[in-house]
C-alpha cells in the first residue's frame, strides 16, 4: 500500500468552509494502473451539499460586490499557483486518472489558459444600451451573476473540464459548488480547492465536494442552485436536463459523442492516419471528442487501413507512472468490459481486427476494426475506448449521410486537399465543431465549444460565450421623471 496522499491536508476531507470531514464518509483513491490505494478523499452526501449551498448563498453576495479587478486578481493568482504546482497536480492526474505524462502536462497548460481567459472576463462590457420609444427613458441590458452555480465534472480530463466552468463562473461573480467524480476527486477537485484557497478566494465562495449520484442529484435538485454545468454521459445529461427543465433552472450540458472523421479520396493518407490515431487513441480513447468513426473513401481505404494499423501496433501501452507510454490504463473494470463487448459484438457481426483487440488488466491495446457497417455496435455506440472503427463510403453525399446518421453531434473532422470542399461539407454536417485537415479532439480556450443533438443542449464554453452561460440578462430602464399613466 502506498501513502502517496495519506498525509495531505485534504486526506479524508472535503473543502466546504475550510477542510472538514464529510457526512458522507470517505473513499479510498485507487490507482487504476496498479490497483493500489494512493490516498483517501471525503465523499459528499446530500447533507454536505445542503450545507455547501447555504454557505455559498451567503458568500456570493459579497463576492459579486467585490470590484471586478479584485476578483480577476484572485483568479490570476490561482492560475499562477496551478502552474507553480504543476509537478504535484500532474502526478495525481497520472496516478489517479491513468493519464500519460504528456496528456497531463497538456491538460494543466490548457487549464492555465482557461483560467487566464476567465480572469479577463470581468473587464469586458457587461451590458448594452438600447434605444427607447419612450421620451427620456434609458434602457440598459446587463449581465448579472446567476448566484450559486453547481458544476458536475467527469474523470477523464478532470482539471480542464472542471475549471472551464469553475473559473468563468467565479470570475463573473458567482459562488460555485464543484462536485468532481469520486474517481478523480484529488486531481479534479481537492488540489484545485487548495489552489483557490491559497490564492485568497473568500471563504464560502467555492466548495469542492467529491461524490457519487446522491450528491449530484441533491445539487441538481436544490432550489437555491441557480444553474448546473454538467459534463458527462448523454443518459445522465438527459435526466439532469429534465429536472432542470421542470425547475426552470439554467443548465449547460456537454455530453457524449460518436465523432466521425471523413477521409475523402484526395486526402493525404499519412496525415489522415496520424490524425486518426491521435483522435482514437489519445488518453485510451476516453474523451467525449474521441474519433469514434473513421469514414474512408473506397478508393483509398486499403492504404488508410494498413497505415493506421501500423501506427496502432507501434504504440506502447503501460503504467504511465513507471515509464514513458502512449496509452495508460482504462479507468475501471466496467469500462474495459463495455469496450471489449463492443469490439467482440462487432466482430461477430462481420467486422475484423487488424491491430489490437487484446487487453491485460485494465490495459487495452489500441485497436483497428475494419469492415464496420451501420448497425454494428462499433458504428452506433459511443465507444470511449482506444478503438478505431473504419467504414467505407463512395460519395460525398454518402459520407454526410453516415456522419449525420448518429444522434450525437459533438465534433467531426474532414481530410481533403481542398479547403473549399471541406468547408462546403462542414456546412452539411450536424456537429457543434468541424475541423478540416485535423482530428476531432480539439480545444482552444477562447473559442466557443459545445455540441448539437444528443451531445448537448447548445451551451458553449470558451471566451465571451462564458459570459452568456454563467450570467442572466437583466433589463433596467431609467427615467428622470416618474411616468404618469391614465389611471
User: In sequence order, what DSSP letters do the residues of 79-134 get, joined into one string?
Assistant: HHHHHHTHHHHHHHHHHHH---HHHHHHHHHHHHHHHHHHHHGGGS--EEEE--SS
Provide the phi-psi class of 163: left if phi over 0, else alpha when psi is between -120 and 50, else beta.
Answer: alpha
Catalytic residue among 288, 365, 382, 469: 288
- 289 SS3 class: coil
Annotated active-site residue 107? The verdict is no
Identify the helix (H) or strand (E) that includes residue 246: helix 234-247
Strand residue runs (E) in 416-469: 433-436, 452-453
- CATH number belonging to domain 259-436: 3.40.309.10
Q: Could you state, in order of their start, the residue ranges of all structural domains in the chain? A: 13-253, 259-436
Annotated active-site residue 97? The verdict is no
* 13-253: CATH topology: Aldehyde Dehydrogenase; Chain A, domain 1 (3.40.605)
- pLDDT of the chain along its 487 residues, tens only? 344 566 577 889 999 999 999 999 999 999 999 999 999 999 999 999 999 999 999 999 999 999 999 999 999 999 999 999 999 999 999 999 999 999 999 999 999 999 999 999 999 998 999 999 999 999 999 999 999 999 999 999 999 999 999 999 999 999 999 999 999 999 999 999 999 999 999 999 999 999 999 999 999 999 999 999 999 999 999 999 999 999 999 999 999 999 999 999 999 999 999 999 999 999 999 999 999 999 999 999 999 999 999 999 999 999 999 999 999 999 999 999 999 999 999 999 999 999 999 999 999 999 999 999 999 999 999 999 999 999 999 999 999 999 999 999 999 999 999 999 999 999 999 999 999 999 999 989 899 999 999 999 987 898 899 999 999 999 999 999 998 999 9
Q: Mention every residue, 6+ apart, whose C-beta is less than 8 A from residue 179.
A: 44, 49, 150, 151, 152, 153, 209, 210, 211, 215, 216, 219
**154 in Cβ contact with 257 (< 8 Å):** no
85 is written with which cell numbers?
504546482
- Residues paired with residue 142 on neighbouring β-strands, in sequence order: 127, 474
Q: Tell me the whole-structure pTM to 2 decimals.
A: 0.95
Catalytic residue among 254, 365, 382, 469: 254
- 160 SS3 class: helix
- By C-alpha distance, which of 110, 219, 213, 98 is closest to 167? 110
Amino acid at each position: 500500500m502506498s501513502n502517496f496522499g495519506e498525509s495531505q491536508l485534504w486526506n479524508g476531507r472535503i473543502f466546504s468552509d475550510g477542510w472538514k470531514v464529510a457526512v458522507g464518509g470517505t473513499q479510498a483513491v485507487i490507482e487504476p494502473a496498479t490497483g493500489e490505494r494512493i490516498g483517501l478523499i471525503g465523499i459528499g452526501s446530500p447533507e454536505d451539499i445542503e450545507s455547501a449551498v447555504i454557505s455559498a448563498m451567503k458568500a456570493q453576495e459579497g463576492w459579486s460586490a467585490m470590484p471586478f479587478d479584485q476578483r480577476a486578481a484572485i483568479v490570476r493568482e490561482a492560475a499562477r499557483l496551478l502552474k507553480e504546482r504543476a509537478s504535484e497536480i500532474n502526478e495525481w492526474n497520472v496516478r489517479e486518472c491513468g493519464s500519460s505524462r504528456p496528456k497531463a502536462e497538456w491538460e494543466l497548460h490548457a487549464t492555465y489558459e482557461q483560467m487566464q481567459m476567465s480572469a479577463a472576463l470581468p473587464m469586458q462590457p457587461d451590458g448594452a444600451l438600447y434605444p427607447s420609444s419612450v421620451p427620456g427613458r434609458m434602457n440598459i441590458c446587463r449581465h448579472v451573476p446567476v448566484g450559486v452555480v453547481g458544476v458536475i465534472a467527469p474523470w477523464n480530463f478532470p482539471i480542464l473540464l472542471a475549471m472551464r466552468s469553475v473559473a468563468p463562473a467565479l470570475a463573473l461573480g458567482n459562488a460555485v459548488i464543484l462536485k468532481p467524480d469520486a474517481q478523480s476527486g484529488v486531481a479534479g477537485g481537492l488540489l484545485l480547492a487548495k489552489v483557490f484557497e491559497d490564492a485568497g478566494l473568500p471563504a464560502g465562495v467555492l466548495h469542492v465536494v467529491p461524490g457519487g449520484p446522491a450528491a449530484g442529484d441533491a445539487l441538481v435538485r436544490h432550489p437555491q442552485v441557480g444553474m448546473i454545468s454538467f459534463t458527462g454521459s448523454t443518459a445522465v445529461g438527459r435526466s439532469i436536463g429534465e429536472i432542470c427543465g421542470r425547475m426552470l433552472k439554467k443548465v449547460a450540458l456537454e455530453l457524449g459523442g460518436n465523432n466521425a472523421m471523413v477521409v475523402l479520396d484526395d486526402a493525404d493518407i499519412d496525415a489522415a492516419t496520424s490524425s486518426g490515431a491521435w483522435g482514437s487513441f489519445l488518453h485510451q480513447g476516453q474523451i467525449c471528442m474521441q474519433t469514434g468513426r473513421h469514414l474512408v473513401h473506397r478508393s483509398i481505404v486499403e492504404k488508410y487501413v494498413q497505415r493506421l494499423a501500423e501506427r496502432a501496433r507501434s504504440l506502447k501501452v503501460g503504467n504511465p507512472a513507471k515509464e514513458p507510454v502512449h496509452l495508460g490504463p482504462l479507468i475501471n473494470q466496467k469500462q474495459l468490459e463495455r469496450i471489449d463487448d463492443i469490439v467482440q459484438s462487432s466482430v461477430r457481426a462481420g467486422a475484423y481486427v487488424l491491430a489490437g483487440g487484446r487487453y491485460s488488466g485494465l490495459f487495452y491495446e489500441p485497436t483497428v476494426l475494419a469492415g464496420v457497417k451501420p448497425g454494428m455496435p462499433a458504428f452506433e455506440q459511443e465507444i470511449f475506448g482506444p478503438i478505431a472503427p473504419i467504414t467505407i463510403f463512395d460519395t460525398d453525399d454518402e459520407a454526410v449521410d453516415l456522419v449525420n446518421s448518429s444522434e450525437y453531434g459533438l465534433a467531426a473532422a474532414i481530410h481533403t486537399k481542398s479547403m473549399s470542399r471541406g468547408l462546403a461539407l462542414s456546412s452539411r454536417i450536424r456537429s457543434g465543431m468541424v475541423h478540416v485537415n485535423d482530428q476531432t479532439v480539439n480545444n482552444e480556450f477562447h473559442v466557443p465549444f459545445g455540441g448539437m443533438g444528443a451531445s448537448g443542449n447548445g451551451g458553449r464554453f470558451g471566451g465571451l460565450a462564458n459570459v452568456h452561460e454563467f450570467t442572466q440578462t437583466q433589463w433596467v430602464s431609467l427615467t428622470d421623471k416618474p411616468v404618469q399613466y391614465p389611471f
